[in-house]
Every structure is written in C-alpha cells, then in structure tokens.
Amino acid sequence: MFNKTNALSRSRRQRPLARNAKKREQSNKIPTPQSDSKSGLRVIPLGGNEEVGRNMTLFEYGGDIIILDMGLQFPEEDMPGIDYIIPNINYLKGKEKRIRGVILSHGHLDHIGAAPILLRNLGYPPVIGRDMTIAMVKKKMEDFQKGSAQHLKTMRVKSASDKIRLGKFGVEFFEVEHSIMDAVGVIIKTPDGTVIHPGDWTMEKNPASGKLVTYNHLSKLPGPRILMLESLGAIVTNPSRTTEEEMYRNLEKLISEAAGKIIIGTFSSQIRRIGYILEYAEKIGKKVALDGYSMKMNVEIAKELGYIKMHKETFISVSEIQKYPENRIIIVCTGAQGEVNAVLSRIITDNHKHIRIKKNDTVIFSSSVIPGNERTIQRLKDNLYRKCDNVIHSDIMDVHTSGHCSAQDIQEMLRQVRPHFFLPVYANHYMLKEAEKLAVRIGFLKNNIFVLDNGNILEVQKGKAKILPKKVDTSYVMVDGLGVGDIGQVVLRDRQVLSADGMFVITVLLDSKTKEVVGNIQITSRGFIYVKDNFDLVNETKRRVQKAIKETTSRNTSAERKFIEDNIREVVGKFLFQKTERRPMVLPVVIEV
Amino acid sequence: MFNKTNALSRSRRQRPLARNAKKREQSNKIPTPQSDSKSGLRVIPLGGNEEVGRNMTLFEYGGDIIILDMGLQFPEEDMPGIDYIIPNINYLKGKEKRIRGVILSHGHLDHIGAAPILLRNLGYPPVIGRDMTIAMVKKKMEDFQKGSAQHLKTMRVKSASDKIRLGKFGVEFFEVEHSIMDAVGVIIKTPDGTVIHPGDWTMEKNPASGKLVTYNHLSKLPGPRILMLESLGAIVTNPSRTTEEEMYRNLEKLISEAAGKIIIGTFSSQIRRIGYILEYAEKIGKKVALDGYSMKMNVEIAKELGYIKMHKETFISVSEIQKYPENRIIIVCTGAQGEVNAVLSRIITDNHKHIRIKKNDTVIFSSSVIPGNERTIQRLKDNLYRKCDNVIHSDIMDVHTSGHCSAQDIQEMLRQVRPHFFLPVYANHYMLKEAEKLAVRIGFLKNNIFVLDNGNILEVQKGKAKILPKKVDTSYVMVDGLGVGDIGQVVLRDRQVLSADGMFVITVLLDSKTKEVVGNIQITSRGFIYVKDNFDLVNETKRRVQKAIKETTSRNTSAERKFIEDNIREVVGKFLFQKTERRPMVLPVVIEV
C-alpha cells in the first residue's frame, strides 16, 4: 500500500498519481472481504533455491489447486554432470485430484521445460496457455518421450480477454511484453484476493511493434490485489539502457551494409527478435539459413502459427549457402554462450560441415552473457577475432536488449497496478530485497511487501497476508540422463572430489586363512597423476599397503575386510598427500581368496 | 605511426596534437638506427594462452636476455583441481647464463606469483624492483619454501629516475598509477629500439593523491619507440565510469554514517585502497580489524615501508572487536569473490570465530566480479541479505573502481607517448584487436600495430618490426599441490569425465587355467548412482560381466587380461548408458589367481 509522505518525498518522477497521494491512499485501503475458505488463498513459489518461483508457483483455495508454469533450471557449478533441475512436487503427492489446471505463462524452458516429467507424474492435469506456448510444450513432450503429447489435455487461451474458471478460481489474462510471442500475464481471482502475475516482462517505451503496453486497467481489479512481479531488474538501474528500437536499427544497419555473409548468434528463446530479423532479411532480399535444433523448432512453430510471415524462398538450408553470393547470406544460429557443441562453436573451430568464416564476414552476438559463462565466451571471442574482422557484441554496439524489466520499470508497474500486497519474485533473494527497497522508496509500506523463499506459504485472508511458519519441501530434484531425483548430495560430493584430484584404486587379494597378501597389489589411478611417470610413487605405495595389512592382521587375525580397507585408505591417503599435496579418492578393494 | 588524414577525420577529441598532424607525422617518422645485433631486439610475451604477456615477457638483444615479471594465472573451469598456471620457460633452458635480470613491475600475483618456482628453476638471476614489490616477492618465496628468500639477489629501484644497465640493455623507469604502491613503468633501451611498458595502469583524472600522472615526457625517448600497453580496458567504453575521488567519497560517507559495524570485503591486492580506508578510519576515530592472510601480509609490508601511516592503537585484532562499541568497528577482509573458506564466506555462514553479522551492520563489496565467479557471488549476496539490511555493492553505489585503463585512456596514452610501434598486451586476443581498432581510429597506421600471441617473437631491427614465423613453447605448466607441470591433458580429461558421471570399478578374479570367474564380482562405484538404491542395476551388470567373460574366453582360451578388460569396459559402458544415459568411467580390474 502506498504511504503518503514517503511517496511525495521520495518518488523521483512526480507522476500525476503520486501528486494525488491522499486520494490514492484512500482507494488503496486494503479491502477485507469475507473469506469462504477456511485457510484463505495460499501462494507457494517452488523450484530451485535461487530464483524464487520462477519455475513454478502453486495457488490453493478451498481445497482446489492451480499451478502456474512448470519450468526447469540449469545446474550450478557445484553440480557436475547434472542436466537440469526440476521443481520438487512432493507437496502435491496425494493431492493430484485437486489440481484444477496448469497455466503456462509463456514458452521458455524455465517456464515449461519440466512439463514433460511433471505432467506425467501428476496424471496429466489440463494445461492452459496460448497457442505458441501449447505448441512448444507438445514439442517438448514428444522430444522427451515419443507419443506422450497425446495425453495432453489443453484449454486454449484465444485472447487476453478470455475468462475461465478452474474450480474455485477465476482466471483472466492480460498482455505483457517479452522476447517470445504469446507471453501472457495471469490474473487469479478468489474471494480472498486477486493475484496479478505478468510472468516474465519488460516495459518498452518504444516497442518495435508500435503498441505500448500499459497496466493501469489492472488497478480496477477487486482487492486485495496481490502483485507477484518478476524483479530480476531490481539491480538494473542504468537509465540509458538500449531500447528495442535502437537495437533493431543497429541490427538493420549491420545486416544491410555487410560486405560478406552475416552470422548472428542468439538464444533460440529470442524468437520475436529472430522473427524480426527474418522479415527484415526478406525485405532487403537476403536469404536466411537457420542452424541449431531449438532455433529451427521455435521458428517452425512460430511460422505455422502465422507469427512469422515470410516466403518460403527466403529460407535456405545451411547446405545451400554456397549457391548464393556471400553478401546475400544471413545465418542465424545458437551457441552464443560458447556451448561446446553448439553451432557457433563448431563454425569457429572449423568443425561445421557447411559454414566457414571469412575475414570480411560479420558475426553478431545478439545475446547477453549468462552468469558463469563469461570465460567461455571470452575464449569464443578470441577465436572468432582471429578469423573475422567484424565481430560485433554488446561491448561495441547495442545489438541486444534484455527481455526483462529494469528498476524504473518495477516502480512504474507498481504505480500503474497499485497493488495492496507486493511479492517480488523470479530472482535471487538479494534482488528481491532490492525490489522491496524500490517499492518502499516510492511510498509502499514495508509491511505489505513479502519477500518469499521457494517453499514458503503466503496466506491471504480477510484482507491480511502472512507467511506461514511451515515450509514446503523444495530439496533439489536433479535430472541426470534418465534419472530423475536419484542423484543426491553424496553422489555430487563424490563427483566434486573425483574432479579435484582423481581417484586411486588399490586391489589386494588376501589369503582368507593366513590373511597374507596373495600375488601383486594392483593400482589403478585416473585423474591423479600419470602413473607411467610415477613408478616410484606407485611402488612405495604398494610397500606401504603391504605393511599396513601386515600390521592390521598381525594384531588381529580375525580383522574384518572393512577394517583392513579403512586402514589402507588412511595410510595411502596420508602418504599420497605428503608426497603430492593432493587428495585423490582412495578406494581399497580387498578380496579374500 | 600516426596517419595524417585519419587522425584528422576520425579523432573524436580534437586535441592540439591531432590538429598539428602534419608536424606530428614528420616527428613520428620511424628512425632507422644501425643495429649492432644480428637479430635486433626481440620481444616475446609468455604465460597462459589468454592474457598475452601478462605473466611474463622476455627481451633479447645481442645474446642478452632480460625478463619482465614472473606471474601466475588462475586455472580455467576445465582444469579441475589445478592450483595455478605458471609461464612455460622451456625456451630459457640452456640460456640461464644469458639472463641479465628479472624486472618486476609491481607486487600483484599475476606479476610475481610464479617467481618462487621460476627464480629457483633459472638459478636465481638478479631481481630488479621497488621496495614493496621486492618485499612481497621475498614473502612469497618464504611461503613457498622456507629459507629460499636467502637466494634472492636484488637491485633496488630507489626512484623512478633510476637508470641501470643489464648487459646490453639500458633500463629506466616511469611513474604509473595502479591499485598497489610501487607499481612502476619500465623503459628498455637498445640500439634498435626503446620499449615503453607501463605494466598494469590506469589514468585518474582526479586521483586521490592529487598528483596527476602524465606520459608526455616518454615521447622524447629515442625511436623507434615500442609501446607495450595493457589493453584490458579496450572494451571499457563507458565514459562515465567512477573516479577514485567519487569512490572514496562514497566509502567515507558509508563509514562515517554506519549505525553498526562495517565489514568491507575487497581484494588484498587493493592495497592502496585499504591504506586509504585505514587512514580515514583513524581520522574519524574508528578501530580497524584486518582479516585474511594475504591482506594482513600486504598491509604489514606496506606499513613497514611507511606507505601506510597510522598509530598502532587504530589496529585491533578480530578477537578484540567485542571490546568496542559496534559503530566504532571496521573489519576489512578478503573473500568478496565468494571463495568458500575465505573470511567473508565464513562470516556469512556463521563459521567465523569472532565476527557475527547483525541486521544494522553495513557490508560493502569494494571489488569487481572476476569472470566466472558471478553465480557464487550471487549466492553470497543472497545469504548476506538474509542477515543484514545494509549490503552495498557496485550495482547500488560506486564503491569500487578498476585499477585498469579504459578505451579513452588507451587513446590518450597513445597521444601522449606517440610510439612508432604499438603492441597491445595483457588481455585476451579479442580485446587486443579492439585496442588495435582504437589506435587506428585516432590515426595510427595498422601496419605498425602488432597483436601478438603468447610465444610469438617480435623482432625490431633497423626501424622495422616483424613477427617471426616460429613460436616459443607456451604449453600450460600447471601447478597442483607439490607437482609443477606433471598434470597433462590426459589427467585433466580423466578428471572431467570423473566429475560428469563418476566411476564404476569392476573387480573380477579369474582362474588362471580355466579362465572362469572365481567368487563374486565386485562393484565399487562413486559419483555415478547411489549403489544401495540400485541393487537391480548392479546385479544385472554383474550378470553381463560374467557373460562377457564367458564369451571372450570360450572363443579364445588364451585371451589376454587386457583383452578381457576391454571387453568388459565396452559391454558395461553400453549397458549403463542404455539404462541411465550416463557415461561413468568404467574401470575393470581383472586378476588371475
């Protein structure tokens, strides 16, 4: 709720709304509807531990449950070998029949990527979304398991003015701007409160579409209004960030003036931008080859739905590029993050079947750097600059804009929607706290802001909101190959140890009666030292093992195998550390014969 | 060399120098001195493959060699377990007697960190540097090997006006600005050319010291002048970056106004800034506790040399902080990059013996994010925001400035020094290419710019410069524990495989005559699956191993052990992938009894 004095003194931009603070405060008094549910409206963000609620959010009311999004998260650096992480749905076990629907805000992987597994595990509840989103989920399901898309039950959202009912929930929609077609904001109505959730969003002052999206109409929704707001941008305070308009002008200039062929590396998720480039290419008579599975798939879907309009002659296959003059070719591809086997990397390392880079080509990185990929991308650029004189990236020219909001946008959204409760979500905790500060700075009362963690339960009832003391299970569910949730902390820790200093296996045969070593002790080592260069160390280790066994068994002739193994592990671990200051994983295998 | 027309048309800032391009061009004609050396002056940057010449540069003239810096590099993400990388000195083998001296530009690890190993391996050639630098090398040597500093032969640079002779080289110095005291620029004079090398540098328009450093006087040095210039800043084009002055005002405000204690996380290498904070703390009557080994060491050295002036009562130990009111305490510590066992991490996770964070404390990250550490730092901030209401970092306020140059600084330096040849160094290849573009944009001729790789040999003779076709060995020399250079690509690749999917050891005893399996097949697995939850998989694997052995030995009763092992590896690898889509390292150990 807006606080009068703060709003007046702190708001940087004196908007008409802020000047009329008295009136606004009255109209923003939190309504206290009579609840018809014992526990009111409950909101539960789920997912990994970092970006709160980004992958999945649960809403409960009067026994009914609806789900917003089913996304995946990419693994952290300390999760070697893990493919991705999906939301933990332990809380929903036994409640499957109460799930009235799964609403999908848009088709990006962090919002739909876990759907193939989670829909299956929840018995295929109905899925609600716009055409592009539904089409992408179907594709993902088929990729995951052939034939599984036939289980999908869908309710199509034909326009943002659609209204649907899911059990005790009324669900409505609103337009938002994001980097993919058919992204949609969601309104969830219950007698105890109305949740307003734009999903991923940005606010373009100068959108390429020419259509300015505003949110003032949401302030008319019945209260208490609970705004759940993606707040990744809370720390993006640079007021001079690139507009979509500027970015497109730069891209058009580069594309039209290029002397050689053009290679544009971007995310396959930037499907609106890719569509724009394709249509511009057609306008100036260039041919476009797409490369990268996800990119081709996304463009295919967008074309089928009529979201990208162009002649089929404009598209060529990468195998056909030799047929055209170099300066009529545009290649749009994946791999701008330096992913080892992605298209751009293969082009740069001369491992691409059809594409060779030349000095006068133009290579454009139309993407941001995902945190953690910085050094890989630096290396990619190094190699690229060796082969090409015209490499363009954001350090040099504005050829990318974020599909996400800025700090100013967050404040603007709050001013327009005028919620009673503010829940910053979809970002790391520290960014959510910064979003809280942004709201307080324009007069929002701190008491009405809730910074949740994944698994927290916010209960809204009779005009009051509170975080319940109990939390829902959000322990990581990691997917590795075919295994879902079977990799735990023990296995991960072992992988970390193995990666740091390798392993050292010692195989010993013992006479089961005399407990004396039979034959040679065998050493098998990987990732520790190069054994062939270290015979002395290996032989000395064998002697120490022999001695350790002798000492153990002479003291205690009935010594158990496990006891002998533990002893070997300790002696060898110490010895190797002393000699090398490395700590390989030591694995003794003692077999009695 | 400046090119008249380009200089006039392209220079953004019309400086007097640029307006007088005609005159300048004449004065910048490359002189063609008569060489008295068969091969002229040779310049060879060494080190890892990324930041060219940052860790070490060799200069050769008439059989004499001098070395600039002996630094280390931290490992890449694909080098698990490696501690650091040092320059490869294979090229110097057999040439040790020709080394006339090792000049150290300043005391940061990427410039002196490899000295303990390399000085030893080269027979302790004389080391030339200013006091702080020499003191830090001594400390590093003692840390590495007790007593080794006694071998150090030093020549002290007392002031920037010192001139020394090292064999056929004349060596002089000039003042530069950097984040550590006693950083010094180096001038290397030979009959064939004069190298000007500031080392790491920045250009402060408003230095805290009040002393503006300029480089115009270097343009008077005899030609051809070869400017080797740190060009990390070539992609730093934001003209409004924070000045030192602004940063210090912000820090002072935070420190003087804090309600609770202040914790400042920064790099121990930021020793000038730490000194400034200490002196300011004393001025306003606060006490300072330092924490972190390297930080304490650096401050100790700077104090001993008189570079930080303060009463000893201002310093307190972290164990004493309870004795003072919270708002009189400043803690300056390491760990702002999220290093697991560094001070800041221990404070945040409540694992620090003496320091507990309270809500009204102020925590300041006065550091940049090292590429690759982004996600770790995000997590650190998340945890910090949970415990403290006042966390300040660069996203929020300017509390850090880089000790390195910007794109504008590079152009300004070129204008002041007016070199005949320009060698951008100390950065990734793509940044060096951008530095080249910056130079061309203000009229420098592309032919006189040389973007070298590590190991390239640039030869300057009779007014001409060229890169020789042969390269010097720069393969990585990795340090892991006590091992220097003993980890190669095979061991690293094994570590990567082990980290991704773990390992799977199969131990089988075979009757040496019948070749039949004796006893139980043993499976030992780590980092792959949790064996106790996967008995079926393990048992099925054992059956397959049994079958594979039978098939191998029945066909060929004299089958060699290696052949049997290879067969097991293939069968088990395939089976496990089919069942799990994971590829653990499969290690069969077959023992005949």
The count of other CB atoms within 10 Å of the CB of residue A197 is 27
The count of other CB atoms within 10 Å of the CB of residue A94 is 8
On whether any CB of chain B is under 8 Å from the CB of A340, the answer is: no
Contact A593 B500 (CB under 8 A): no
Contact B375 A77 (CB under 8 A): yes
Please give the pLDDT value at position B97. Answer: 97
Residue written as tokens 């200089």? B7
Please give the pLDDT value at position B557. Answer: 63
What is the value of ipTM here, to two decimals?
Answer: 0.86
* DSSP designation for A155: E
> A497 contacts in B (CB within 8 Å)?
527
Report the residue of A52, A431, A494 to disrupt the B interface, i.e. the one with the largest count of B CBs within 10 Å.
A494
Please give the pLDDT value at position A401. Answer: 83
Q: Return the ∠ at Cα B41 (arms to B32 and A386), rounded to 5°.
A: 100
For residues B465 and B438, the answer to whether their CB atoms sit within 8 Å is no
CA distance A229 to A416: 13
Please give the pLDDT value at position B12. Answer: 38
Averaged over B289-311, what is the pLDDT? 93
In A388-407, which positions are buried (b, 16+ CB within 10 angstroms) versus exposed (e)?
bebbbbbbebebbbebbbbb
On whether any CB of chain A is under 8 Å from the CB of B536, the answer is: no
| The two structure tokens encoding residue A158 | 């034909």
Please give the pLDDT value at position A446. Answer: 95
The DSSP bridge pattern shows strands B84-86 and B477-480 to be: antiparallel
* DSSP code string of A494-559: HHHHHHHH-EEEEEEEE-TTT-PEEEEEEEEEESS--GGG-HHHHHHHHHHHHHHHHHHHHH-TT-
CA distance B316 to B181: 23
The DSSP bridge pattern shows strands B154-156 and B390-392 to be: unpaired
Q: Please give the residue that has the higher pLDDT: either A38 or B171.
A: B171
pLDDT grade, residue B18 (50/70/90)?
very low
H or E element in which residue B546 lies: helix B535-555
Evaluate if residue B1 carries a pLDDT over 70.
no
Smallest CA–CA distance, residue A309 to chain B, in Å, is 37
Q: Which residues contact B511 (CB under 8 A, 6 or more apart)?
A: B517, B518, B592, B593
A505: nearest Cα among A487, A488, A527? A527
Evaluate if residue B245 carries a pLDDT over 90.
no
Q: Is B129 helix (H, G, I), strand (E, B) or coil?
A: strand
CA distance B431 to B423: 12
Smallest CA–CA distance, residue B494 to chain A, in Å, is 5
Determine whether A111 is exposed, middle or buried from the number of CB atoms within 10 Å of its CB (0-12, 13-18, 19+). Answer: buried
Of A302-306, B244-248, B407-411, give the lowest mean pLDDT range.
B244-248
CA distance A111 to A102: 11
Residue ranges and CATH numbers for the domains of chain A are 4-238+403-484 (3.60.15.10), 246-392 (3.40.50.10710), 502-592 (3.10.20.580)
Please give the pLDDT value at position A531. Answer: 77
On whether any CB of chain B is under 8 Å from the CB of A536, the answer is: no
Averaged over B33-62, what is the pLDDT? 89
For residues A75 and A82, the answer to whether their CB atoms sit within 8 Å is yes
Instruction: Name residues 223-242 of chain B within 8 A of A (Cβ).
Output: 235, 237
Please give the pLDDT value at position B339. Answer: 82
Averaged over B569-586, what is the pLDDT? 95
Smallest CA–CA distance, residue A490 to chain B, in Å, is 8
CA distance A129 to A154: 8
For residues A576 and A542, the answer to whether their CB atoms sit within 8 Å is no
pLDDT mean across residues, chain B: 90
> B384 contacts in A (CB within 8 Å)?
430
Report the residue of A503, A504, A528 to disrupt the B interface, i.e. the one with the largest count of B CBs within 10 Å.
A503
A287: nearest Cα among A306, A268, A261? A261
Q: Is A175 helix (H, G, I), strand (E, B) or coil?
A: strand
Please give the pLDDT value at position B10. Answer: 35
On whether any CB of chain A is under 8 Å from the CB of B507, the answer is: yes
Nearest to A505 among B385, B395, B589 (CB): B589
Smallest CA–CA distance, residue B30 to chain A, in Å, is 27
Summarize pLDDT for B82-137 with one digit per residue, the tens: 999 999 999 999 999 999 999 999 999 999 999 999 999 999 999 999 999 999 99
B105: nearest Cα among B192, B175, B44? B175
Contact B495 A494 (CB under 8 A): no
CA distance B141 to A406: 49
Residue written as tokens 């409960």? A60
Axis-axis angle for helices B131-144, B293-304 (nearest 10): 140
| The two structure tokens encoding residue A308 | 């990208």
Evaluate if residue B39 carries a pLDDT over 50.
yes
CA distance A82 to A492: 9
For residues B218 and B196, the answer to whether their CB atoms sit within 8 Å is yes
> A483 contacts in B (CB within 8 Å)?
529, 580, 582
pLDDT grade, residue B399 (50/70/90)?
confident
Nearest to A530 among B434, B488, B587 (CB): B488
> B484 contacts in A (CB within 8 Å)?
none
Mark residue A182 as left, alpha or beta (left: phi above 0; alpha: psi -120 to 50; beta: remaining): left
Please give the pLDDT value at position B41. Answer: 97
> B81 contacts in A (CB within 8 Å)?
499-502, 527, 582
Smallest CA–CA distance, residue A489 to chain B, in Å, is 10
H or E element in which residue A189 lies: strand A184-190
Full pLDDT tens readout for chain A, 593 residues: 433 333 333 333 334 344 444 444 445 688 888 766 788 999 999 987 789 999 999 999 999 999 999 999 998 888 999 999 999 999 999 999 999 999 999 999 999 999 999 999 999 999 999 999 999 999 999 999 999 999 999 999 999 999 999 999 999 999 999 999 999 999 999 999 999 999 999 988 777 777 889 999 999 999 899 999 999 999 988 766 778 888 999 999 999 999 999 999 999 999 999 999 999 999 999 999 999 999 999 999 999 999 999 888 999 999 999 999 999 999 999 988 888 788 999 999 999 999 999 999 999 999 888 877 888 889 999 999 999 999 999 887 888 888 788 999 999 999 999 999 999 999 999 999 999 999 999 999 999 999 999 999 999 999 999 999 999 999 999 999 988 988 888 899 999 999 999 999 999 999 888 888 998 999 999 999 887 788 899 999 999 999 999 888 777 666 688 889 999 999 999 999 999 999 999 999 999 88
Determine whether B40 is exposed, middle or buried from the number of CB atoms within 10 Å of its CB (0-12, 13-18, 19+). Answer: buried
Break chain A down into helix, strand, coil percent, rounded to 5. Answer: 35, 25, 40
Summarize pLDDT for B311-324 with one digit per residue, the tens: 889 999 999 999 99
Contact B522 A589 (CB under 8 A): yes
What are the beta bridge partners of residue B46?
B56
Contact B395 A480 (CB under 8 A): no
For residues B46 and B474, the answer to whether their CB atoms sit within 8 Å is yes
Amino acid, res. B75: P
